[in-house]
Amino acid sequence: MTLCHATGSEKNPYVSITVNANGTANGHIGHQDGRDIIPPFTYNDHGEEGSFGGQNWDAAGQAIWNNGCAPVDPDPDPDPETPVLSIAPLACVPLGDPLPQSIAVTVSGLTEAGAWTLTATGTGGRSASVEVLGNGTYAVPVDGEGSYTVTIGSDEGVADTETVVVARCPDPHEPDEPVLEVPELPCIAVDAALPTSIAVTVGGFADENAAADAHEAVAYLLRISGGSGGEATVAVDGNGSYTLPLSGAGVYTVELTGGESAISASVTVQRCETPPPPEPPEPPAPPAEPVEPVVPAVPKVALPPLVVHPAPVTVRVESPAPVRVAEHQPLLAVTGADDGGAELAAAGLATLAVLAGGAMLLSVRRLRRS
């Protein structure tokens, strides 16, 4: 087991050693006037288990043992005391009741008496101070209504600050600021009748009784002007809705007045604009011109030269009819006494010429066919 063995030296008062538990029990207990730091342990006492509760095993001894038997620096000086102020909020003082002459301030956080002072300073520069004797509640003087700053301080400065307000409660008979609500009217159709009245809302009074008291003290009126008519007024006796007259189209001003206060709002009565006539529909688009289909070009194919074989021609040759030639007759002598003989001779020559021409034509045809 490990213990802190006392050396008797001021510089190194302890050394850490590890010994047998039985030896510790026999030799180190009471060493150096019992200054050894020994943790609790168990040991074997002739076959029986014995126990030792420790020596110098208090908080300081444990700190040294946990620090490797090296002395531990004492705790540094604690932080200087810092007083703390607290002030309960003050309730308003009813009308007719006296104002407080002091306020209760609580001081805490002080550990010992010192030169501390409480000071209350008002908005007008008025101040009062109280000496602080310790933690507790102190009555700090105040003087009338207003806001007060309370501090606690010493010659070294201010340690804490609080603020408190001394004030009277509001007068229940004094009305709150009223509120006027005027609705916005939609436009009126051309064939519809214009409204003859409008409902406005008045609010903001604390309650009905306060509103009634306010009405008795101050006369509140609703006034409407504008349109084609004159002004109209309605008395206000509290929160609620009030009906005011309208006189045709136009801009109206609604006012709520009472004493020196006045609030206003405006509203417009107007007809809706006549919608423009619908635009004529657009004419239909002309039909699209037909588009001729595109015929793909057929590629030209080179063809072999065309060889034409003429068909055989059959020629039928007809034999010419036999020509009878008149036997040669001796020509008679032409005399002047017989003119018929001359004519006959001319006819014979013509016949011979025709026959000769036909024979020649036949010969030509045969040559062409062959």
Q: Each residue of 31-78: pLDDT tens digit?
A: 667 788 888 888 777 777 878 878 888 888 899 989 989 888 765 554
Q: Give whole-number Cα distances, 121 to 55, 82, 142, 175, 208, in Å.
A: 60, 21, 8, 33, 41
In a domain, 98, yes or no: yes
Contact call for residues 113 and 133 (beta carbons, < 8 A): yes
Final residue of a structural domain among 144, 166, 188: 166
Final residue of a structural domain among 269, 295, 315: 269
pLDDT for the residue 336: 47
Distance between CA atoms of 103 and 87, rounded to whole angstroms?
A: 8
Distance between CA atoms of 298 and 300, rounded to whole angstroms?
A: 6
pLDDT for the residue 25: 54
In a domain, 197, yes or no: yes
| Number of other residues whose CB lies within 10 A of the CB of residue 140 | 19
Query: Tokens at residue 166, please?
Result: 């001394």
Q: What is the mean pLDDT of residues 221-239?
A: 89
Same-domain status, 94 and 61: no
Confidence of residue 224 (pLDDT cuts 50, 70, 90): very high
Structural domain including 258 reads 179-269
